[in-house]
Structure 1
Amino acid sequence: MKSFSYGFSEGSICKGSGYKPPNLHKWGPGVRDVFALHYIVSGKGYLKTQHTTFFLETGESFIIFPQMEVYYYPDPLDPWEYFWIEFYGGEASRLLSMINFTPNSPVVVASPQDLGPLFHVSKSAELEPFERERSDAKLHLLLSYYMEYYPSDKAFLTKDYTLSAREYIESNFWKPSLSVLDVVDYVKIERSYLFRLFKEENGVSISGYLTTFRIQRACELLRTSHLSVKSIAYSVGYQDPLYFSKVFKKETSYTPSEYKKAYNAGNTSSHFK
């Protein structure tokens, strides 16, 4: 099978999928702004996080959490081939909360069946609305097998706390006054406990998640609208456009204007790096 890679349009939980045949391709060290699930069809390789190096082989899977620094590479004597799929958002987090993946344990053992075919969620990067829905449905189907084979052993109450925090952020990120304490007040549990749960579940702090989510939305508006930088800043919760530009550059390595220009010229992907 030849290598393929699709990046999907706005409005889809599923942000892209692809296949890598056996080769010596490496990735990182770096971070993603999405969840990236990988399934090893054959061969061997390594996933290195900040604290651990994992050895992986045929049938096993690993996931990269948003803003989780990783480096992964094939075994030089038996390089792996793998499928991958990227997804993001509150619904993606909800689905993953039912699977035994965490930032500290991002690897699961070989599955009892070949999951590779389930990674074929689309045959095109240009999706009509009905195709986006089908792609998201196929993503749900794929993750349902992971839920069955690798169910989370964490309490559902814990999942509810962190999911509620994420959903509150994603519904209120546009408010300039939104603070971490607002999130704590909404979830109604002790602050340090929520901080620990949230970091453990998501690999990033509440404030970090809010910033990343705001900049993701700003990138979408820069790609899809003709709004000014000032209007976009206000739309994602920043009253000071200069401060917004400073945060944007820190997160993406571009100023907002540079990002829009580079994207229009085809020099940057839809995902900020």
Structure 2
Amino acid sequence: MNQIADGFKGERAIVVPYSVRNFQSGNELTKNAFITHIGYYPNAKYHFRKRSKGALENILIYCETGKGFITLENEQFSLTKDQAFIIPAHKAHSYEAEISKPWSIYWLHFKGNSNSLHTAVSGKILNLNDSRSTDRLNLFEEIYQNLEMGFNPDNLEYSSICLQHFLASLKYTDQFLKIKTADTEVLDVIPLSIIYMKNNLTAKITLYDIAQHAGYSSSHFGSLFLEKTSFTPMDYYNQLKIQKSCSLLQFSTMKIKEIAYFLGYYDPFHFSKSFRMVMEISPREYRLRYKTTV
């Protein structure tokens, strides 16, 4: 049997760079609980991970469908549909999908200065088959999509707040079930322009192209974008390209030069230089370090 840590069809994953984690650990809104890794593995057949010394972060696994097993310090737990489990940091553990009915899981790694929200609900099966199970998954998607949109301070802070809300929904179940709210958020020009960037990561779009799509002049849009995100539009666009390249390095077999040309860089040297500026390591080092992250 070939046990694997990742590489599942349709999987999604984001690894937050160490430089960004330094910001998160010092920011007042994020330092108590923040994401370091997040993803989704559908129909994860032969999924297996073992850490004899534990992980540096707490790990939350939410089983959407199927079944799997978690062993925490020699005690085994069975995880099935609409159940979750938090593995505390630094605790020896392993987890694996059942062969006949492999799980589909949402997962994330998180850490922070405060353990008060998750200590009481860690190390045990959490049954989440209630009237707001969909809302929890929506919270997960909000975290993922905000981080996918880039690592600017607003996205990081909002993601941490959503994480704390998610953890609170596990600890304070009665309170969470009392209130049912509907999301009616209207997208404004900045999120819409970021979506346009994400849809054109393999193209060579310019500031003029993005501004035209948003309906502004280049100068006005550039100033507005910088005010809202703390990044220039092209710096943000490059950051999204680097984020996409991280996914390709971790989950594809594309060569580094193929990734460079696929994402519209002039040559592999230009790509490697841009990658190192954001991630603080080379693409090759990133692939070696994170090829089996989860």
For normalisation by structure 2, the TM-score amounts to 0.48
Considering only CA atoms, is the larger Rg found in Structure 1 or Structure 2?
A: 2
> What's the CA shift for 1:88?
0.6
Over the matched positions of the two proteins, sequence identity in percent amounts to 18
Q: How many residue pairs align between the two structures?
A: 159
CA drift at 1:122: 2.8
Give the alignment partner of residue 108 of structure 1, picking from 104, 115, 126.
Answer: 126
Q: Shift in Å at residue 85 of structure 1?
A: 1.6
SS at match of 1:134: helix
TM-superposed deviation, 1:50: 2.4
- Pairwise mapping of residues 246-261 of structure 1 onto structure 2 (< 5 A)? none
Question: Which residue does the alignment assign to 2:40?
Answer: 19
C-alpha change, 1:7 and 1:125, in structure 2 (3 Å) is farther
Moved more, 9-18 or 34-43: 9-18
CA contact (8 A) 2:40 2:107 kept: yes
- Residues 264, 130 of structure 1: CA spacing in aligned structure 2 closer, same or farther, 3 A cutoff? farther
Partner residue of 2:153 out of 111, 114, 129: 129
- For the residues of structure 2 that align with 1:47 and 1:73, how far apart are their CA atoms? 7
Give the counterpart letter for 1:63 in structure 2.
I
Deviation at 1:265, TM superposition (A): 3.0
Q: Find the counterpart in structure 2 of residue 76 from structure 1.
A: 99
Residue of structure 1 equivalent to 2:57: 34
The residue that corresponds to 2:170 in the other structure is 146
Q: Which amino acid aligns with 1:75?
A: E
Once the two structures are superposed, what CA deviation does each residue of 1:113-132 show, in whole Å capped at 9, x if it has no partner? 32322212032173111111
**Correspondence for 1:180:** none
Mind listing any 5+ residue stretches in structure 1 that lack a counterpart? 152-259
Q: Take 2:139 and 2:70, find their aligned partners in 1: how far apart are those partners?
A: 22
Q: 1:125 to 1:6 in 2, by over 3 A?
A: farther
- 2:172 is paired with a residue whose SS is helix
Worse-superposed segment, 6-15 or 50-59: 6-15
Question: Within 1, Cα distance between the matches of 2:74 and 2:51?
Answer: 13
Counterpart in 2 of 1:67?
90
Q: Deviations over 1:36-57 (max 9, x none)?
A: 1111101111111222111111
- Residue matched to 1:227: none
Give the RMSD, CA atoms, in angstroms.
2.9
Contact 1:17 1:119 in 2 (8 A): no
